[in-house]
A and B are shown apart, each in its own frame.
Chain A
Amino acid sequence: MTGDSSPSGALAESGLVAPRGPRVSLVTQGLGRAFGRRHALRDVTFTAGGGDVVALVGHNGAGKSTLLQVLSTRIAPTQGRALLDDELLSPGCPARVRLGYVSHQSFLYGALTARENLALSARLGGFPEDAVVPTLERVGLGRAKDRLARELSRGMTQRLMIARLLLQDARVWLLDEPSTGLDAVGLTWLQGEVESAAAMGRVVLFSSHDRGLLERSATQGLRLDGGRLTDFGPFRARATDEWLRSSA
């Protein structure tokens, strides 16, 4: 089953916040990924536009993480293709730098501090380094900025990973279980950041089993089952339980 929808985010739609920056479009056409003989993802076709917050739901092993990995360009599809603003996404493609990816792996050097890790990202991407400390303060790591990354809790690590997205000003946010390790305050903060990104015209795709994050932030739902897309549509058109029914 395929889906094709690209409504704007709730805040942007309301007209209260004008989307900033060029309009973003993320398109997949028959996207698939096999590992040997096992197809982790097959024939996934959907379109998401700026302001969309797409919740990926499905059982463990349904293909959510694989879809995010392929979209992030961390791994190549073995079938179909993905396009960001009509530009083909593949490992090493120029468009990769417009994607922000929070994965199960932190991509952080444990022997560097939070500030050093973010400064490294800034230098690698050519972002202003003077934005590093304000970004750390924005994500609530102002007091922990000089702690080694390996000494940070899971929730703090999650915040640091999202800080990198903010610094990078990514057009597309790909979040794999972003609420992992976050406390109630952290979850509220994360919801705010996701809404803010959508209001600025970003595309956000996230996988999560957190009901609060799904209900408050998702504008679109995308259900995967056995690597296939089985449902795609406005999230709030149906009860959350109906979306979560297929979730583990």
Chain B
Amino acid sequence: MTGGRSQPPGQRANTGPASVLRGALLMFQKDLHIERRSKELLFTVVAFAVIATVLFALSFNLDDDRTRAYTPGILWVTVLFSGSLALGRLYDAERDNDCLGGLLLSAMDPRSLYLGKLLTLLVAMGLMEALTVPLVVLFFDVGRVAPPGALGVVFLALGLGTLGFAAIGNLFAAMLLSSRLREILVPVIVFPLVTPVLIAGVQCTRAVLSGDFEISHWLWLLGAFDAIYLTIALALFPLMLRES
């Protein structure tokens, strides 16, 4: 071993928690920089969500009150499908020129890449949701019947659900980066895993929109899945990326 041989700062691997977070912010800033120039990720996610919401609205008889019962499902499925498109594009920049390989050879801890991509995904999906929820409220006339404060809770549930989806989706998007079938494989693997998130999110949203605010158990469930997915993903991500 090199033992006590001193090395310049740049010739040591960065593995401490502060270094991991610094690296994550750096990856996030890099993604924002690239996104500002290309706008590919945001355009893909937002355009799909808007089109899907409009198509759902055109497909249902909005004069029928029973349609309103489907609104939570429509909202969550739209969000998850849009999110799966984001997963397909999340690592595009890293695939070109094997930039992922370059990152793995650098001093950066691989978990920084995971956390940076998680931030990017959360921001993209957050913006998409900020646009999708008002559209759903408008098209499905939710505002007329939803009690005050309901939309705030819906956003909270969406935030927790999005974190769980992004935490596990990010892991498989990176793992399947070099697969030609990744656009298919990522949703096929991720959707079954996030089914509990979808169920909890839909039930929570349905309850709140019908005036039932006894939803803390759903929120706890969403939070618990977030913690489980994040813990597993952070543990597995460095191992999955070796030789990717």
Contact = CB atoms under 8 A, between A and B. Distances in A.
Interface of A: 22, 72-76, 85-87, 91-92, 94-99, 101, 103, 105-112, 116, 120-121, 123-127, 168-169, 171
A126 B10 contact: yes
A22 B6 CA distance: 9
A11 to B, nearest CB: 23
26 contacts: A22-B5, A74-B104, A74-B105, A85-B2, A87-B1, A94-B13, A95-B2, A97-B11, A98-B7, A107-B99, A107-B101, A107-B105, A108-B102, A109-B34, A110-B96, A111-B33, A112-B30, A120-B26, A124-B26, A125-B10, A125-B11, A125-B107, A126-B12, A126-B14, A126-B107, A168-B10
Contacts of A168: 10-11
B122 to A, nearest CB: 21
B78 to A, nearest CB: 29
B1 A109 contact: no
A158 to B, nearest CB: 13
A109 B30 contact: yes
B27 to A, nearest CB: 9
A123 B26 contact: yes
B169 interface: no
Interface of B: 1-2, 5, 7-14, 23, 26, 30, 33-34, 37-38, 93, 96-99, 101-108, 110, 238, 242-243
A219 to B, nearest CB: 24
Contacts of A74: 101, 104-105, 243
A111 B11 contact: no
B35 to A, nearest CB: 9
B233 to A, nearest CB: 17
A120 B30 contact: yes
| Interface secondary structure of A, over-half rule | loop
B12 A97 contact: yes
| Interface secondary structure of B, over-half rule | helix
Nearest to A22: B5
Given A87-B1, A103-B98, A107-B98, A96 B105 contact: yes
Contact of B13 (A72, A97, A103, A105): A97
A97 B107 contact: yes
A120 B243 CA distance: 22
Contacts of A171: 11
Q: Which 9 pairs between the two chains have the least Cβ-Cβ distance? A: A107-B102, A105-B98, A125-B10, A126-B9, A97-B107, A94-B13, A127-B10, A124-B106, A111-B34
